[in-house]
Amino acid sequence: MYGYLDEAAGTGWDTAAISDVAWDYQSSCGKCKEVKCKATGFKDGYGQWLDRKNVCFDTSASVVVTITDTCPCSYPGNYYSNKRWCCGDMYHMDLSLWAFEKIADPKWGVIALSWRDVPCWHKPNKRAKNKYGQRSSAERSAPRGWKAAFDLRPFKKVQGENTYGRKLRGALSA
């Protein structure tokens, strides 16, 4: 886990957690995936049908997320265990609110995704934008007490034509 993340570095607060039983879990931390909302229905691990055919804002738009955490399957005594979604019935990613609300309304909670591995600097052909305006209500303020120094990702300072900032080191190549 990276801890608190700097909104202006790497993919910012567009992050995800994948299940610890996913086939690519062992090498996933710090890697990036391009995700799109997929207009379809599906059954969850308990056989419940979830109709999500009309929940995507734009199925051709995508967001790039950094894998920063784990969706824990089953750990006795761990309140955060999540057997319903994280135990391997299907490939599963928990998207941060900031990433989720760019591709679908968060009220749906669970949506189908298509994804692919990409370098963290990847720019989608059609970038998903926040339907709620430039910045979501959750993005208007950082968590109380948050400082950029809390971000534990390995950064290096970079200077471009029009920007000066920080980029993720090590996650820049595919």
Among candidates 73, 38, 64, which has minimal Cα distance to 52?
38
Q: Is residue 6 part of a domain?
A: no
Domain holding 106: CATH number? 2.40.40
**Contact (CB, 8 A) for 44 and 97:** no
Model confidence over 118-143: pLDDT tens digits?
Answer: 999 999 999 998 876 655 555 455 55
Q: Is residue 5 part of a domain?
A: no
Most confident of 12-21, 26-35, 66-75, 78-87: 26-35
In whole angstroms, what is the distance from residue 135 CA to residue 114 CA?
24
Domain residue limits at 107: 15-168
Q: Is residue 151 part of a domain?
A: yes
Higher-pLDDT residue of 171, 77: 77
The share of the chain scoring above pLDDT 90, in percent, equals 32
Q: List, as one string, the DSSP characters of 92-142.
A: -EEE-HHHHHHHB-GGG---EEEEEEE-TT---SSB---TTSSS-TTTSSP
Residues in the chain: 174
Mean pLDDT over each residue of the chain, to the nearest integer: 75
Q: Is residue 121 part of a domain?
A: yes
In whole angstroms, what is the distance from residue 42 CA to residue 35 CA?
17
The pLDDT assigned to 169 comes to: 37
Q: Is residue 173 part of a domain?
A: no
Asked if residue 165 has pLDDT above 80, the reply is no
How many structural domains is the chain composed of?
1
Q: Is residue 7 part of a domain?
A: no
Q: Is residue 3 part of a domain?
A: no
Among candidates 97, 95, 68, 94, which has minimal Cα distance to 3?
68
In whole angstroms, what is the distance from residue 29 CA to residue 106 CA?
24
**Contact (CB, 8 A) for 103 and 130:** no
CA distances from 118 to 11, 41, 84, 131 (A): 12, 26, 28, 24
**Contact (CB, 8 A) for 64 and 51:** no
Element (H, E) at 84: helix 83-86
In whole angstroms, what is the distance from residue 8 CA to residue 168 CA?
11
Tokens representing residue 130 in the block: 């926040």
Query: What is the pTM (predicted TM-score) of this model?
Result: 0.71
Model confidence over 92-111: pLDDT tens digits?
Answer: 888 988 899 999 998 898 89
